Amino acid sequence: MEKQINWREDLFWEEIEGDKELAQELLQMFLTSAQRLLEEIEGSLAKGDLSLAREKAHSLKGAAGTIYCEGLSKEARSFEQITSLEEARLRLSRLKELFQSFKHQIESKGLL
């Protein structure tokens, strides 16, 4: 699964000039924000509001892009194009899987 996450860790570290404390802070902020956005996407879909779910996916795409998590950003971008609630519910599962895999990856590196 980690290949599908495609975290460009090299670019992330370059951007923050190797500052581990900053990395931990940014990654924790991302995880908190992404978790909230995933919950909001799920809530929007439960209400049948696909438009709002796509807006939240757009925010998730940007947040993931900021930390160079290209796989999650790409999946969120695909979510933005969804036209049916059924497909959105399936894609939400994929977003959650990628998020959990990314979280596990950074935990295993001691970055949290």
pLDDT digits (tens, 9 = 90+) for 23-69: 999 999 999 999 999 999 999 999 999 999 999 999 999 999 999 99
- Per-residue pLDDT of 78-100, as tens digits, reads 999 999 999 999 999 999 999 99
Give 68's contacts (C-beta < 8 A, 6+ positions apart): 7, 8, 9, 11, 12, 15
Q: Is residue 112 part of a domain?
A: no
The answer to whether position 67 is within a domain reads yes
Residue 89 lies in a domain: yes
Give the chain's domain count: 1
The CA distance from 13 to 50, in Å, is 35
Asked if residue 51 belongs to a domain, the reply is yes
What was the pLDDT predicted at 70? Answer: 96
Q: Which pTM value belongs to this model?
A: 0.92
The CATH number assigned to the domain holding 65 equals 1.20.120
- Four-residue CA torsion sign, 17, 18, 23, 24: negative
- Using pLDDT thresholds of 50, 70 and 90, give the confidence band for residue 106: very high
pLDDT value for 112: 83
pLDDT score for 89: 95
In a domain, 50, yes or no: yes
